[in-house]
Structure 1
Amino acid sequence: MGRWIRVLALALFACTVLSVPARAEYRHVIIPNLSVTGEYTDNVNLTDDDTDSDWILVVTPSLAYEVSGRRNGLRLGYAPGVAVYAKNEDDNTLRHSLNFNAWHSLTKNTHLTFYDSFLRTEDPNTDEVERREARFRSQVPAQEGETPPPVLTPEELGLQPDTTLREGREPYYTNTAAGRITHTFGRGHSLYLGYLHSLTEHESRFEEDSRRHNPTVGLTYNINPHLSLSAAGGYTRGTFDADSRYIDDPTEDFDRWNGSLRLTRAFSPRFSGYADYTQILLDSEGDGDDYVVYHASVGGTYQLSPQSSVTVGVGYFFQDNQDDDDEKGLTLTLNYNSADQWKAGRLVGSVSVQSGFREAFFGTENLGFSTFYGTSLNLRYAMTKKISWSSYLTYRRDEYLNEDPERKDNAYLAGIGVQYQISRRFSLSLSFSHRTIDSNLDEEDSHENRVGVDFSMNLSPELRPISF
């Protein structure tokens, strides 16, 4: 607990330093809010059998603050929460969510950016946790016509949501901190150096704790107006801590090196083709898995709009395992990225299709190399000026190729909600969500239905962000 207090103190200190010169060139924005949520779950511990239901009351005040100037700025959000269980009183706990971004322009072409995200919760459904986190990160709005601040995002840092399975309601916390310096030299040329540190710690003795140290470097270079080259590399030191009395096969500490190279050719203003190559080397201590992954692919990207694109590609990977059978196969890429949602009257939606391979470390379960594919659909419909409904549907398949026996999980997620803006200050929402994990290993199956009621109150005076 002391670590998150130090992180919060550091963020508040930086916030104070930046806010001291409260001159006209600095813009300050504060958004206070209060949320009261009542939630019912029919599988509170996300177990395969012996399921138990419960009612959970969560009270969450939150505060988002941003101060920005011409060359630097800071964005800070903090949301403590109190979770009270109707049946399982031993699960009552305090939740904490802290998000921090800071940026500073050393020169016109050199920029420093910092990122930190801290979470403490007992909620085992990481999909719901990530959805709440994403909503909270975007609390400070940009003014119309204003250039968004140069904040680091989880996607830009290469962070992926934890798709492994967590059971029980023991509290755990995660923290990810990163810094990056970026320098541009000439049109289309840039170089960055970065460092990322993350940790995951559990109060449960049946889960592994982990830490990651990850320096990175990346280069983008335009060879000519139609041909560009990008390269990236990094080193990761992963360490793990497990109680051998409760975990039979703990993850070994490892060193990991990775590098990638991509050549992109623009054939028209909208269409470009690419060829890339990625190599990963993982060296474990002790009896852990050692392997080298080689992956090459070709494909193309079509720009549908300034913020929407479709990428189609095909590749081949080969995993050379030192002690086990090698793995190999095709990788098919079909990614639809839409930052600007499509609209049809009052209906707004977005679609995402993704596939590829990843390494499942530093989460709930450390399952190593895996391939995945999946799709998601999000819809929102404005029924009236005050009433709207939203829904999402997601499917994902993960195949953990280095597990013995090999593990294959199918995840099905669906949800629907109705939001009612009672007044300018108060809003009410009702939601239902379903989550099923169907695995080839029966003990990894789980399912859950949730019903929630959320009452939110805008605490800003005059019902708008406090600016000064």
Structure 2
Amino acid sequence: MLSEHARSPMGNRQGPIPVQRLSRKEMIPCQAKKGSNHPSIKDGGFAFILCWLMLALNLPCLVHADLTINPYVGGGVNYDDNIDLSPTEADHDVVTSIRPGVDLNWTGRHGNLGISYNPSYNAYVNRPEYTFTSHTATLEGSLTIARGTSLTASNAYMHTEDPLTGDDTTVRRGRNPYFSNTATVGISSQFGAESQIDLTYTYYVLENDDITIEDSSYHQPELAMTYWFLPNRYAIEMEGQYTIGDFDTSEDFEDLGARIRLIKRFGRRFDVYIDYSHTYLDYMNDAEDYQVYSPIIGFAWDERADTRFEFSFGYFYRDNEFSGDDDGIVGNINVAYEWGPGGTITFNGSVGYDQAFFGAENLGFNPFYEIATEVTYPIAQRLTGTLSGSYRRSLYIDETPDREDSVWGGETGLAYQALPWLRLNLNYTYSQINSNVDLNDYTKNQVMLSVTLTPRQPIRF
């Protein structure tokens, strides 16, 4: 789970406020859970239960709601030239897959609910022992309890053996199963055209069959508010999180973070802001505690309906309890442009600090910089092309010795809507990691042809 501070402090992420220090250690097989007075990995059913309680509360509102069912089935053939992510002796294979799925959506006067389930059967030709079935499922619902106030709940589950999934920038190898689950419940109240307050609670868990990969979880309540005290002129954003991180072998922690942003609006489309975020992390035992201070200034401009530009620049300072302190620049450039029907181009450049936590590897604090771009263009009436590329360099300074990873990624593809119920896709994907730890290197090329069948119209009740 990665908190990319430079992109939006305490925003646009799926994990806790940046947790910047891990105890320096060598990777060891995960052992039996150490004693702890805090919730363990197994105790996160609370949020899951709340999600289903939310579903139960929603049922009376959904009795007379409209139900839409979207079934589909897909299949494909994928050529992979490095199925083991090997740094030296790459082993290629052809993988055939079958991917049925269904989306259920209820829409009522006072609430809505969406449930999706997507299994996938993946068969390897040369290495049949690698054949596996993956499962992903999501639940999202909301219930209006008063004017402008609603309860929300979501749950996202994934079970797979594929080492390359999600946003984890660390390296996972092997074909052992693992699963992750994120459950979130909250209440949201809007008290103005753009003013809103949100209270949420999130529980995340990652469990691995591979004993060399550490299980982890976190519990995280969060309070956020946006208040335009002078509408269309001045606003304040405030956000606070409290996170309990729980691990099988690494030291658990408590983390408290806060952010405040003052916004000045010029006209209707130009916002300038000053932002300050603060993080305090307290390890349960002997690992080094720290604080992070980070002021930022920036602006967002979207004067034209087809163009958006964002820029921010700032500084971070990490005050370590014992060792030397760390500092650096944080900044972000985002550009999005739309042309014609369906044509888009986006560019993102970021520099700052991040943290690799709650993933395949726990590598801690890492200054980084990255660029990413994507182009989508309608080549013909039913044919769309995409092209994307990215580069990221991370320096894991809490590792001994320091570890540097350069991650390259690229993808190009064609999507052809042959018939209203038939879509064809052809994609090429490139991924590469260059690391000063040679065992982490790999280069991977994939070519996939897939077919998806869907009804002309969704089934409605």
Q: TM-score per shorter chain, which class?
A: 0.7 to 0.9
Q: Deviations over 1:190-226 (max 9, x none)?
A: 2221100001111111111111100111122223231
Please report how far the alpha carbon of residue 415 of structure 1 lies from its aligned counterpart in structure 2 after TM superposition: 1.2
Match of 2:171 in 1: 165
Residue pair 1:39, 1:56 contacting (<8 A) in 2 also: yes
The correspondence of residues 376-387 of structure 1 with structure 2, limited to 5 A, is 376-387=372-383
Match status 1:61 vs 2:67: no
Q: Deviations over 1:57-89 (max 9, x none)?
A: 221100001001121010111011111122222
Match of 1:445 in 2: 441
Structure 1 residues 393 and 210: alpha-carbon distance in aligned structure 2, compared to 1, 3 A threshold: same
Letter in 2 for 1:204: D
Please report how far the alpha carbon of residue 344 of structure 1 lies from its aligned counterpart in structure 2 after TM superposition: 4.7
Letter in 1 for 2:169: T
- Which of residues 51, 59, 62 in structure 2 aligns to 1:18? 59
The correspondence of residues 54-453 of structure 1 with structure 2, limited to 5 A, is 54-126=93-165, 130=166, 161-225=167-231, 226-241=233-248, 250-305=249-304, 309-336=308-335, 338=336, 342-344=338-340, 347-453=343-449
**Alignment length (residue pairs):** 417
1:90 aligns to what SS in structure 2? helix
Letter in 1 for 2:183: A
Q: Deviations over 1:362-414 (max 9, x none)?
A: 11111222233322222233333333322211222223232222222221111
Structure 1 residues 433 and 240: alpha-carbon distance in aligned structure 2, compared to 1, 3 A threshold: same
2:439 aligns to what SS in structure 1? helix
Work out the CA distance in 2 between the residues paired with 1:390 and 1:272. Answer: 31
Please report how far the alpha carbon of residue 272 of structure 1 lies from its aligned counterpart in structure 2 after TM superposition: 2.0
- Which segment drifts farther, 213-222 or 436-445? 436-445
Residue pair 1:292, 1:320 contacting (<8 A) in 2 also: yes
Q: Deviations over 1:163-202 (max 9, x none)?
A: 2111122221111010111123345432221100001111
- Which segment drifts farther, 360-369 or 14-23? 14-23
1:106 aligns to what SS in structure 2? strand
- Which of residues 27, 30, 40 in structure 1 aligns to 2:69? 30
Match of 1:151 in 2: none
Output the TM-score relative to the length of structure 1: 0.82
Work out the CA distance in 2 between the residues paired with 1:300 and 1:119. Answer: 37
Letter in 1 for 2:179: Y
Structure 1 residues 188 and 451: alpha-carbon distance in aligned structure 2, compared to 1, 3 A threshold: closer
Letter in 2 for 1:196: T
Residue pair 1:74, 1:102 contacting (<8 A) in 2 also: yes
Work out the CA distance in 2 between the residues paired with 1:21 and 1:228. Answer: 37
1:18 aligns to what SS in structure 2? helix
Task: Supply the RMSD in Å over aligned alpha carbons.
Answer: 2.7
2:419 aligns to what SS in structure 1? coil
Please report how far the alpha carbon of residue 16 of structure 1 lies from its aligned counterpart in structure 2 after TM superposition: 11
Letter in 1 for 2:160: T
Work out the CA distance in 1 between the residues paired with 2:56 and 2:390. Answer: 38
Letter in 1 for 2:127: N
Residue pair 1:11, 1:100 contacting (<8 A) in 2 also: no
Match status 1:454 vs 2:453: no
Work out the CA distance in 2 between the residues paired with 1:270 and 1:306. Answer: 10
Residue pair 1:377, 1:393 contacting (<8 A) in 2 also: yes
Using CA pairs under 8 Å that are at least 6 residues apart, name the structure with larger relative contact order, 1 or 2: 2
Work out the CA distance in 2 between the residues paired with 1:47 and 1:110. Answer: 52
Work out the CA distance in 2 between the residues paired with 1:376 and 1:274. Answer: 24
Structure 1 residues 382 and 311: alpha-carbon distance in aligned structure 2, compared to 1, 3 A threshold: closer
Work out the CA distance in 2 between the residues paired with 1:370 and 1:454. Answer: 37
Unaligned runs of 5+ in 2: 1-41
Letter in 1 for 2:324: D
Please report how far the alpha carbon of residue 55 of structure 1 lies from its aligned counterpart in structure 2 after TM superposition: 1.7
Unaligned runs of 5+ in 1: 131-160, 242-249
